[in-house]
Amino acid sequence: MDKKLIKAAEEGDINVLYSVIGECSQVLQSFDEELLFIDNPLHIAAFEGHIHFAMEIMRLKPSLARKLNQDQFSPLHLALQNGKSRMVLRLIDINRDLVRVQGRESITPLHHVAIEGDLELLIAFLSACPKSFQDVTIRNETVLHIALKNDKVEAFEILLRWLTEVCYEEVYRFEKKILNWRDEDGNTLLHIAASKNQSQVIKWLVKSKVDVNSKNMVGLTALDILENESKFESIEIRHMLHAAGAMTGAYFQTEYASKIYLRTDQRLKKAAQEGDMDAFYDLINEDPCILDRIDQIPFIDTPMHIAASAGHSHFSIEMMRLKPTFSWKQNQHGFSPMHLALHNNKFQTALELLAIDRNLVRVKGREAKTPLHYVAETGNVFLLAEFLASCPESIQDLTIRKEAALHVAVKNDQCQALEVLLGWLQLVGMEMILQWTDDEGNTALHIATYRNQSQMVKLLINRIDINAKNFKDLTALDISEQPMCDANIKNLLHQSGALGASSLPRVTILAEFLTTKMSTLEKLITTTYLRKSCMSNENRNALLVVAVLTATTTFQAVLSPPGGLIRHSNSLFDFQYMAPWFCFLAFNTVAFLTSMSEIWFHLPRGFYFLLKLVMPLLLCYMLSLSLTMPVSRATPYYMILLLLSQWKAVARTILYKRSLEVKLHLLKHCPNLYRELKF
């Protein structure tokens, strides 16, 4: 550390601090990036009690407050050790979580004040951070253990009353767990109090309804510890424990004792393996936070993983109800409960889990493989169909090799699975997925040809681009001409008009395409269209409301034209003022057609909505228009207005080649864009 900075911290000189920062603006940053355990300026200022200097450092670099020095102490630890109480209080005012910073032997500042018996700071720390009750040392001691082991009875009383009476929401639900916590020797607070003949402490603990028959590592209860004591206090304590139902270890049967000696995680695993719901809830009663702790570990076999592997559906569903995140969590091998149920042929369990949450089909495990990929790989067509019907979107999921379920089925020679997938894609209108490629640029047809799967080639040949090239610039025909390939496949491809890469016209790559200059008209059309396609749902909804109102108003205007109608003898209908009427009719028709085109644009694609909604309304408008003038005059008039209102669509049709090139280039690099960008 810079000597000037050390001196500034020792003297609390803020001016010198900024002088050093002026010379090197990264001086404080270096403590984060380079040095792991060293005294930083905040350590020194906290130890010396320079509050203002410490506050300025905290403001400039808050992370330094959690740093440990070479002796494994934080600035708050050092302030406590040197009796700088005001400094301590100011530090926790700024960041209350500093109370939980673990130093040497995982001792926190709260543990330190419990050792010292500083009641004022103890109350301040508990008020600032009630959750600090849960912190334990490397000896598995809570702050209550520490106070009791150091004979700080007053501190222990404050801690106990705080836990049982103040009832902060953050710690109230942990009360029973903390009161029955065991240290590394298996001793609870009651064991320690018994060993020290602390009759008042035992009275408090019994009143708090701790487990009076809890055993330590050597199988002794609190009553066993007092057995050989003849002091008056020990006799009084024994009577107190007997009255609370305490027994010695000898009273417990061997079978029961062996159950107690099993670690909680072992008992939980056993309950999950056997699907024993009662045993599980016994554990929950002993330790309400057991599932929360499991959930904090990123990769682990949860009880749901174990139960799903064993096919215990009800137990798995109960775990899923209590802890929904378990169903998406991966174990150390990269598998979710759904994956494990499938791997162990527990298909009924998999289906019952799927009935609870259909999106479990999309849970990605090792190599981003989903349950759908797994059933496609194994060829279980029954489950494949069930999974697709439950979650249609799962067909889009890709592995780390960019393989859809389609690719996985072909790579594993699962012809029946391929047939199911092809039927599904046709049913839901997602045949564009057939054009998707894996990380080597291979379509399903490339892979089927590589693997000499003639039956698969027959299924794919009329559904897929037979002249698509992979990243090696090979088409399916090029692959079929290799020595190891089946001649029948080559014949099939020839009959279908497949070409080799050398016979195909050169395709412009994306970089070349983007360097070509767009005309002003193309730029205007493309920009407008993309702006509409990328519109937010909120803006789209607002636009649809305005378009519907406009269409309604303009249609009504044709039915009830302004000025009324006057019948003439020489014509069917006429109007009082023909020039204003024709102007009104022109603008009204343009507004109607424009609003209808906007409505159609923002409806789901396809001819269904066009034929069912848009076209009937357009025909009704034309018929209404024909009532105001002869049909022979209305029709060309209507067509001219139609072209004027849809000039961009007409221009886009004229420039179709350019639009198609844009789409194909985008699809090649991002297949999922086909839903949003339909030129």
In tens, the pLDDT along 572-608 reads 444 445 667 667 777 788 788 788 877 877 776 656 6
Give yes or no: residues 492 and 393 share one domain.
Answer: no
Give yes or no: residues 313 and 385 share one domain.
Answer: no
Give yes or no: residues 47 and 144 share one domain.
Answer: yes
pLDDT of residue 437: 92
Please tell me which residue, 558 or 41, carries the higher pLDDT value. Answer: 41
pLDDT of residue 606: 58
679 in a structural domain: no
646 in a structural domain: yes
Please tell me which residue, 267 or 371, carries the higher pLDDT value. Answer: 371
Please tell me which residue, 556 or 363, carries the higher pLDDT value. Answer: 363
Written as six digits, the tokens of 314 are 């009800």
With a cut of 70, say whether residue 33 has pLDDT above it. no
pLDDT of residue 676: 40
156 in a structural domain: yes
Single out the residue of 14, 18, 7, 85 nearest to residue 46, CA to CA. 85
400-453 residue pLDDT tens: 999 999 999 999 999 999 999 999 999 998 888 999 999 999 999 999 999 999
pLDDT of residue 14: 87
CATH code, 57: 1.25.40.20
- Single out the residue in 430, 452, 475 at which a domain terminates: 430
Residue-wise burial string across 629-660, b where 16 or more C-beta atoms lie within 10 A, e elsewhere: beeeebeebbeebbeebbeeeeebeebeebbe
143-202 residue pLDDT tens: 999 999 999 999 998 888 887 766 444 444 567 788 888 888 889 998 898 888 888 888
Band the pLDDT of 384: cuts 50, 70, 90: very high
Band the pLDDT of 142: cuts 50, 70, 90: very high
The secondary structure element, H or E, covering residue 571 is strand 571-574
Taking the C-alpha atoms of residue 99 and residue 79, their distance in angstroms, rounded to an integer, is 12
pLDDT of residue 258: 38
Give yes or no: residues 530 and 600 share one domain.
Answer: yes
Lowest mean per-residue pLDDT among 104-113, 138-147, 305-314, 498-507 = 498-507
With a cut of 60, say whether residue 288 has pLDDT above it. yes
Band the pLDDT of 255: cuts 50, 70, 90: very low
227 in a structural domain: yes
Band the pLDDT of 220: cuts 50, 70, 90: confident
Band the pLDDT of 129: cuts 50, 70, 90: confident
- Single out the residue in 218, 251, 284 at which a domain terminates: 251
Which residue stretches of 345-475 are H helix? 347-356, 371-378, 381-390, 405-411, 415-428, 444-450, 454-460
Taking the C-alpha atoms of residue 261 and residue 218, their distance in angstroms, rounded to an integer, is 10
pLDDT of residue 373: 96
Contact (CB, 8 A) for 316 and 307: yes
Give yes or no: residues 665 and 614 share one domain.
Answer: yes
Written as one string, the DSSP assignment of 62-129 is GGGGG---TTS--HHHHHHHTT-HHHHHHHHHH-GGGGG---GGG--HHHHHHHHT-HHHHHHHHHH-
Please tell me which residue, 670 or 224, carries the higher pLDDT value. Answer: 224
With a cut of 80, say whether residue 247 has pLDDT above it. no
Average pLDDT over residues 378-399: 94
- Mean of the per-residue pLDDT values for the chain? 80
Give yes or no: residues 420 and 285 share one domain.
Answer: no
Contact (CB, 8 A) for 42 and 64: yes
pLDDT of residue 254: 39
Place of tokens 């060993």: 195
The one-letter code for the residue type at 415 is: C
Give yes or no: residues 57 and 200 share one domain.
Answer: yes
Whole-number percent of the chain with pLDDT over 90: 34
pLDDT of residue 620: 82
523-580 residue pLDDT tens: 666 666 666 666 677 887 888 899 889 888 888 887 777 765 544 444 444 444 566 7
65-82 residue pLDDT tens: 888 888 889 999 999 999
With a cut of 60, say whether residue 666 has pLDDT above it. no
Give yes or no: residues 262 and 141 share one domain.
Answer: no
511 in a structural domain: no
Band the pLDDT of 231: cuts 50, 70, 90: low
Average pLDDT over residues 251-255: 44
Taking the C-alpha atoms of residue 41 and residue 28, their distance in angstroms, rounded to an integer, is 9
In sequence order, what are the residues at sequence separation of 6 or more whose Cβ sits closer than 8 angstroms to the Cβ of residue 138?
A: 105, 106
Place of tokens 């209108």: 429
Give yes or no: residues 188 and 308 share one domain.
Answer: no
420 in a structural domain: yes
Band the pLDDT of 249: cuts 50, 70, 90: low
Average pLDDT over residues 118-132: 87
Residue 647, domain extent: 521-563+576-669
In sequence order, what are the residues at sequence separation of 6 or more whose Cβ sits closer than 8 angstroms to the Cβ of residue 254?
A: none
Give yes or no: residues 535 and 409 share one domain.
Answer: no
Whole-number percent of the chain with pLDDT over 70: 77
- Single out the residue in 475, 504, 533 at which a domain terminates: 504
Lowest mean per-residue pLDDT among 1-5, 332-336, 403-407 = 1-5
181 in a structural domain: yes
269-279 residue pLDDT tens: 899 999 999 99
220 in a structural domain: yes
pLDDT of residue 528: 63
Band the pLDDT of 664: cuts 50, 70, 90: very low
pLDDT of residue 314: 94
Written as six digits, the tokens of 546 are 């305005």
pLDDT of residue 241: 80
pLDDT of residue 658: 47
pLDDT of residue 208: 81
β 566-568/571-574 pair status: antiparallel
Place of tokens 């009959």: 495
Written as six digits, the tokens of 43 are 């350590």
CA triplet 137, 122, 168: central angle to 5 degrees? 85
With a cut of 70, say whether residue 297 has pLDDT above it. yes
Give yes or no: residues 423 and 542 share one domain.
Answer: no
3-state DSSP call for residue 572? strand
Taking the C-alpha atoms of residue 358 and residue 217, their distance in angstroms, rounded to an integer, is 46
What's the number of domains the chain is made of? 5
With a cut of 90, say whether residue 390 has pLDDT above it. yes
CA triplet 390, 395, 401: central angle to 5 degrees? 140
What number of residues does the chain have? Answer: 679
The one-letter code for the residue type at 559 is: L
Give yes or no: residues 184 and 74 share one domain.
Answer: yes
pLDDT of residue 677: 40
3-state DSSP call for residue 436? coil
Written as six digits, the tokens of 257 are 């004792």
Written as one string, the DSSP assignment of 251-273 is GS-HHHHHHHHS-HHHHHHHHHH
Written as one string, the DSSP assignment of 391-418 is -GGGGG---TT---HHHHHHHTT-HHHH
Band the pLDDT of 223: cuts 50, 70, 90: confident
* DSSP symbol at 577: -
